[in-house]
Amino acid sequence: MYSIGIDVGGTNLKAGLVDESGAILAVERIPLGVFPGAEKFAEILADLAKAVMEQGGVTKEDISYVGAGIPGAVSGGTVLYTANIPMKNVPLAELFRQHLDLPLLLGNDADCAAVGEWSCGVGKGTKHFIVVTLGTGVGGGLILNEKLYTGAGCGGEIGHIVICEGGAPCNCGRKGCWEAYASATGLIRLTKEAMAERPESALHAIAAEHGGVEGRTAFLAAEAGDETALAVCADYANYLASGLVSLINMLHPQTVALGGGVAAAPEHLLLEPVRKLVAEQCYARHTDQVPAIVRAELGNDAGIIGAAMLGRAI
C-alpha cells in the first residue's frame, strides 16, 4: 500500500506519492496563490492527490490515506487556526472527502517534519525524538514514546518558551521568546545590531555582496575571521542552546535534530558550540545521558514524507 503526503506552505503546495519505506515515487507542486476559501482549498488538495496517483500509476484502492502538513494548529480532521492562511475551525478532512473518498490525516507542518525524520531520517530507531526547525520562526515536532505529541492541538509550540524575560518582542505578543532569538529572523536582527555598533566589521561587505543581511551573513563573515561576526555566532549559539536545554530538561529525548536554513551553518560555528553548551548545562549531564544533537537530513522532503507517514505516529 501507498500513502500521499501534502506539504502546505504559505505560498506553495507540494504532494508526493510515498511507499511504505518512505521513498517518494511521484511529486506535484503548485502555487497556492490567493487563498480561495476552505471548500475550494479542500478540492485543490484532492486534485493534487489525484495527480500524484495518476503520475505514479496507482488507484484510490492502493492508497491507505492522505496526510497533510498544515502551518498551524490542528486537531483530528479540523484545522483549528493558521496564521498565514485564513482558516479557523475548518473541518478540512470532511471537506476533502467530498472530492476524494480517502481519509485525510492532518498534522502541523513541524510535526510532519518530525514524523518524517523519525520514520526515515536521523530519528529512525528512537522512541523519544524532537525536531527543532530554525526558519522564519522556531518550530518543533515532538515524538514521545513513538507517538506524535500535540496536546489538545497546539502542543509543540516550542518557539514560545521565554528565554529572556522582557526581551525582544515576538509575533505571538510576548517578549523574550526563544523564537525572537533563535530563528533566522532573530539571527538577522542580532547581525544588524552588531553592524550598527561596528561599522568597520566585514559584516557590511558580506551583506552588500549578497544583497542584504541574511541568516547566513554572520556565518560567512565569521568564516573569514571577522571578530564581530564570530561574536554574533557565539551569541546565537548561546541563545539556541538556552532553549534546547529547557526543552531537553522537560522531555529528555534521545536525539534532537535541527532543521531549517540556519541549521546548515558550518558545524564548528553552530553545532559544536551548541553541543558543548547543552552538555554543560542540561540536567541529563548528571546521568551521562545527554541527548545527541544532529542536523536533520531529509531537507525539503521531510514535510511530504512526514505527512505521508502520519498514520504511523498518531
pLDDT in tens, 44-68: 999 999 999 999 999 999 999 999 9
Q: Which of 147, 84, 145 is nearest to 115 (CA)?
A: 147
- Mean per-residue pLDDT, 7-15: 89
76 contact partners, CB below 8 Å, separation of at least 6: 93, 106
What pLDDT score does 136 carry?
A: 86
Asked whether the predicted pLDDT for residue 41 surpasses 80, the reply is yes
What pLDDT score does 247 carry?
A: 97
Which stretches of the chain are assigned E, i.e. beta strand? 2-8, 12-18, 24-31, 63-70, 72-75, 78-82, 88-90, 104-108, 129-134, 138-144, 147-149, 255-259, 292-295
- pTM equals 0.90
Q: Which of 237, 231, 242 is nearest to 267 (CA)?
A: 237
Asked whether the predicted pLDDT for residue 130 surpasses 80, the reply is yes
Which domains does the chain carry? 2-118+302-312 (3.30.420.40), 125-297 (3.30.420.40)
102 φ/ψ sector (left φ>0, alpha ψ -120 to 50, else beta): beta
Asked whether the predicted pLDDT for residue 153 surpasses 80, the reply is no
- Mean per-residue pLDDT, 180-184: 96
**pLDDT tens digits, one per residue of 267-277:** 999 999 999 99
Q: Chain centroid to CA 176: how far?
A: 20
The pLDDT-based confidence of 200 (bands split at 50, 70, 90) is: very high
**pLDDT tens digits, one per residue of 67-118:** 999 988 899 999 998 877 889 999 999 999 999 999 999 999 899 999 999 9
- Who wins on pLDDT, 156 or 277? 277
Q: Are 263 and 297 in contact (CB under 8 A)?
A: no
- Mean per-residue pLDDT, 172-182: 95
Asked whether the predicted pLDDT for residue 207 surpasses 90, the reply is yes
Helix, strand, coil share of the chain (percent; to 5): 40, 25, 35
Mean pLDDT of the chain: 95
**pLDDT tens digits, one per residue of 225-272:** 999 999 999 999 999 999 999 999 999 999 999 999 999 999 999 999
Alpha helices in 5-134 (DSSP H): 38-56, 92-97, 109-120
CA dihedral 145, 149, 155, 158 (to 10 degrees): 50
What pLDDT score does 33 carry?
A: 86
What pLDDT score does 11 carry?
A: 81
3-state secondary structure 2-19: EEEEEEECCCEEEEEEEC
Task: Using DSSP, state whether 162 is helix, strand or coil.
Answer: strand
Dig out the grid coordinates for 231 from the structure.
561574536
